[in-house]
Amino acid sequence: MACAIAAGVPAVGSPAPEFSLPDQAGRTVRLADYRGRWVVLYFYPKDDTPGCTEEACTFRDDQAALTLLGAQVVGVSLDDVASHAAFAKKYSLPFPLLADTDAKVAASYGAVTYLVVAKFAKRYTFLIDPQGRIAKAYLNVDTSRHSAEIIADLRRLTLR
């Protein structure tokens, strides 16, 4: 089970770090906007790259199942609003993609990595419960089956 094993990653059971970031349409999105719902907060390295596209499209394809479980998917990368807008339009992504261009939110979740002179978001996902606490952290994501893994965990967690 993945929990706070990476530096700076919030521990399961702790309050999820708050955020306020623009989405692909330029609207400000806050974690507090989703209080009372499950949030699938996923960080990803770069818009329109193979792994990131696969991950986003599986979340898109599983949107109905996630919605039935009371979950809202929210993607975050260090790309800007324009990049997110093009990515969301190209793949018909029905959920917010947040532009964390200064990497402050990714850093608050321990999800920043540096590659030579560039920085990227790590491929981490946090399942946040309706009270705003970290229910599960996914630090080793397989993009092809990640959405199904989240759905299975949500089913288990919501049937408690």
Q: How does pLDDT run across 31-85, given as a tens digit for each residue?
A: 999 999 999 999 999 999 999 999 999 999 999 999 999 999 999 999 999 999 9
Q: How does pLDDT run across 118-142, given as a tens digit for each residue?
A: 899 999 999 999 999 999 999 999 9
- With beta carbons less than 8 A apart as the criterion, state whether 59 and 42 touch: yes
Q: How does pLDDT run across 94-113, given as a tens digit for each residue?
A: 999 999 999 999 999 999 99
User: Could you confirm whether 52 is annotated as catalytic?
Assistant: yes
Mutual angle of helices 50-61 and 146-158, in 10-degree steps: 40
**Placement of tokens 């089970």 in the chain:** 1
**Among 16, 52, 141, 150, the one annotated catalytic:** 52
Q: Which two tokens stand for residue 14?
A: 């702790």
Quickly state the pLDDT bin for 87 (edges 50, 70, 90): very high
> What is the rounded CA–CA span in Å between residue 3 and residue 134?
10
pTM, rounded to two decimals: 0.93
Domains recognised in the chain with CATH numbers: 35-158 (3.40.30.10)
The whole-number pLDDT of residue 4 equals 37
